[in-house]
Structure 1
Amino acid sequence: MEINEKMMELVAALRRSNLHIATCESLTAGLFAAHVASIAHASQVLKGGIIAYQNEVKEQIVGVPAALIKQHGVVSSACVKAMAKAVKERFRCEIGISFSGNAGPDCLEGKPVGCVYMGIALHEECFAYELQLKGSRNAIREQCVRIGCEEVLKLIKRAA
């Protein structure tokens, strides 16, 4: 199933469940939010997003503690969980999703190209996913969006 079909399913599921989502995106640089926004009725479920590409934005705008970044790095489960929780709270919604990782071309924080972390905060729970993806920078980013969409759908169905 292609990304747009999955996004249509996600927007419909969010609407049915009366849930709202916000994004905090590093390596995806707003791609997840853009895909959601491409679907009719997205304005009923997408609260907004933050592109936190650089560490200072993660710290100063999102509110990820500098000590957390220093200890775990930005390519980590701890960082994406903090990002997902923060964006959910900042936008006052039920779901926050975040992405941080290495789309290449070089090793980052000792992590290989394709090492990606995704965080999803849903109500009071928060989950981190470690992914090892392959392909070009844009292929890795697109895979993040598809997997993020799939995982949010699973969590919504589980919570229903």
Structure 2
Amino acid sequence: MSGPPDPDPAVAEVVTGLVEHGLTLATAESLTAGLIAATLVTVPGASAAVRGGLITYATDLKARLAGVDPALLDRVGPVDAEVAKQMAQGAARVCGADLGLACTGVAGPDPQDGKPVGLVHLALAHADGTEHAAHRFSGDRAAIRAATTAAGIALLAEHLRSRGAPGPGTGRGPVRQ
């Protein structure tokens, strides 16, 4: 019997970067339903960096679990840049992590609340603020979810590269509001 396949090198690089920088991560995932966190923990030693995650597939859970402002959800719906930002901040806060990564979007097959299939908002909350990236992916549900996962990993990698070489005590503490 052979063991599980080796983790994707890009994913392994992100997990290694988190560990080397002394950072912890939490996720809040809607359309991916935990796929980002599941992908990260394929890397041996991920438990040193990945604190946990929230699956906020239902709109009300974005407010109840991730702390998204219910008035914002009523006004703009669940697929929005500010919703993604609040989800990321909430994931970090609830899980006691340095970083919060969130995604919300429309995997299809139909548009949602006037938002087109493939529209995805990602956000990364960290001590210096919250970054946002919007994407428009194509394909079926599985392809959109996979592309969202890859984009989330890429957003983390970009953030880690921007921090420079790790050193002792480079973790900067939990996300500030």
The whole-number CA distance in structure 2 between the counterparts of 1:56 and 1:71 is: 13
Match of 2:39 in 1: 35
Match of 2:135 in 1: 131
Listed as ranges, the gaps of 5+ residues in structure 2 are 1-6, 165-177
> What's the secondary structure of 1:62's corresponding residue?
coil
Q: Is the 8 A contact 1:7 1:36 kept in 2?
A: yes
Q: Is the 8 A contact 1:6 1:146 kept in 2?
A: no
Match of 2:76 in 1: 72
The whole-number CA distance in structure 2 between the counterparts of 1:110 and 1:34 is: 30
1:59 to 40, 60, 63: 63
Shift of 1:4: 1.7
Q: How many residues align?
A: 158
Structure 1 residues 20-65: Cα deviation after superposition (integer angstroms, max 9, x where no partner): 1100000000000000111100100000000000011111122111
Q: TM-score, normalised by structure 2?
A: 0.86
Please identify which structure carries the higher helix content.
Answer: 1
Match of 2:50 in 1: 46
Match of 1:121 in 2: 125
Match of 2:101 in 1: 97
Percent identity of equivalent pairs? 32
What RMSD over aligned residues (CA atoms) do the two structures have, in Å? 1.1
Answer with 1 or 2: which has the greater Rg. 2
> What's the secondary structure of 2:110's corresponding residue?
coil
> What's the secondary structure of 1:157's corresponding residue?
helix
2:152 to 128, 142, 148: 148
Structure 1 residues 46-87: Cα deviation after superposition (integer angstroms, max 9, x where no partner): 000000000111111221111011122110001000000011
> What's the secondary structure of 1:38's corresponding residue?
coil
Structure 1 residues 72-110: Cα deviation after superposition (integer angstroms, max 9, x where no partner): 211000100000001111111111000100000111121
Structure 1 residues 124-157: Cα deviation after superposition (integer angstroms, max 9, x where no partner): 3101111000111011111111111111111111
> What's the secondary structure of 2:97's corresponding residue?
coil
Q: Is the 8 A contact 1:72 1:78 kept in 2?
A: no
Q: Which runs of 4+ in 1 moved over 3 A?
A: none
The whole-number CA distance in structure 2 between the counterparts of 1:109 and 1:47 is: 32
